Amino acid sequence: MFRIQIQTEDGETTSFECGLSEDVITAALRQNVTLLSSCREGGCATCKAQCTDGDYEMKNYSSQALPSNEEEDGLVLLCRCYPRGDLDLDVPYTFDRISFHEVKTEWSGEVIACDKISSNVIRFVVRCTDPETGVALKVPFFAGQYMDIEIPGTQTRRSFSPATTPSDDGIMEFLIRLQPDGLFSQYLLNDAKISQQVNLRGPFGVFNLHHNGIRPRYFIAGGTGLSPVLSMVRAMQEEKAPHETKLLFGVTHQHELFYYDELLKLAESMPKLTLGVAVMLPEPDWKGATGTVVDLLRQHLTEALAKPDIYLCGPPGMVDATFKVAEEYGVPKDQIYLEKFTPASEASADPEKGGFVLRQA
Ligand code: FES
């Protein structure tokens, strides 16, 4: 048995034992330590950590979840990490995210809305309930995390972040991009019905608000990357957070734009929130900004008096370009939090299985 020591980003530690043939996540669970994980097959990057000391072997994982340059830098996926000696590991979340008791991750609910809100986005709303009593159940999660939703009648799951915050009426709203030939998209377009029962698992993921004093917070979202970002901004609204906040949102075509009125209302109700919406290829009647969220960010960073915390969410190209601009303007890397959406088939450790949406933070 080897000793595994976990250090969280707020400097707390916990430790447990792990055998030669066990991965770190499984060994921790055996000893009632629940670290953040999701797929547990090396495909989603939820369990990514930095090894600061010790030897280990990594087995069967997706190079999308752990690219070779990260592996060379000592990053590991704990669900695929087998110790070969004592290990010291840093995880990118706070101690309160580790549970030391059984955590409920299986939920059921009923569909209460499924509406097309732009040419390629569906608003899918589920009310989580106790399957026996039908009473609404609050699903505890941190704004920015995600849930796996199962397509009814199948074992196929896809990962989506709620745009809402945890509420006592159990309602979770998901903003979902339609993918050509995507299995979940086919379900939403053809089979989803009001009152239909759905199974969910979660919450998962480490993309969430970091408490770094009153440093300004910039949220940058491309397409349905708005969903977790909206959850975080709504959480700030609920707790009346005092931070100077910017929410920058971009789409390619005007017909892809959604939630514009909701965002305007949110900005009206939050005096510290500045909203920027950009359309790359607008129609002649568009009165807002033309360009990308990267252009918007550049503009806001040029005028910034302090280096903000930056939260990025969207497709990989947009996230990479935005990350570069933030670095160019001197925002330290450890103040940039990101989550990339990758098509399930590209992110899977096991392409036969259909895979998981890759998320990183
Ligand atoms: S939980 Fe380890 S990669 Fe998904």
- Specify the CATH number for the domain of residue 307: 3.40.50.80
Mean pLDDT for the chain overall:
90
d(CA 227, CA 288): 21
How far, CA to CA in Å, does 202 sit from each of 31, 51, 140, 168, 228? 20, 26, 9, 17, 14
274 assigned to some structural domain = yes
* pLDDT value, residue 95: 94
Q: Please tell me the distance between residue 214's alpha carbon and the centre of ligand 1 in angstroms.
A: 32
Whether the CB of 43 sits within 6 Å of ligand 1: yes
352 assigned to some structural domain = no
Its domain, for residue 124, covers 106-206
Pair (138, 226) in one structural domain:
no
**Atom number in ligand 1 closest to CA 40:** 1
Cβ-contact 236, 265 below 8 angstroms: no
Pair (160, 226) in one structural domain:
no
Whether the CB of 230 sits within 6 Å of ligand 1: no
Average pLDDT over residues 325-332: 93
360 assigned to some structural domain = no
Pair (273, 254) in one structural domain:
yes
Q: Please tell me the distance between residue 80's alpha carbon and the centre of ligand 1 in angstroms.
A: 8
158 assigned to some structural domain = yes
Whether the CB of 77 sits within 6 Å of ligand 1: yes
356 assigned to some structural domain = no
Above 90 in pLDDT, residue 343?
Answer: no
- Which residue, among 56, 51, 59, 64, has the nearest Cα to 91 in the 3D structure? 51
**Atom number in ligand 1 closest to CA 43:** 3
Whether the CB of 161 sits within 6 Å of ligand 1: no
Average pLDDT over residues 30-54: 90
Of 92-101, 126-135, 160-169, 343-352, the range with the lowest mean pLDDT is: 343-352
Task: Cite the DSSP H helix spans in the chain.
Answer: 24-30, 68-72, 183-186, 226-238, 260-269, 293-303, 316-328, 344-347
**Atom number in ligand 1 closest to CA 39:** 4
Pair (89, 64) in one structural domain:
yes
* pLDDT value, residue 342: 63
200 assigned to some structural domain = yes
pLDDT tens digit string along 261-315?
999 999 999 999 999 999 999 999 999 999 999 999 999 999 998 999 999 998 8
Whether the CB of 40 sits within 6 Å of ligand 1: yes
**Atom number in ligand 1 closest to CA 38:** 1
212 assigned to some structural domain = no
In the chain, the percentage of residues whose pLDDT exceeds 70 is 94
pLDDT tens digit string along 82-125?
999 999 999 988 998 898 987 788 999 999 999 999 999 999 99
Residue 36 identity = L
- Which residue, among 243, 245, 244, has the nearest Cα to 230 in the 3D structure? 245
347 assigned to some structural domain = no
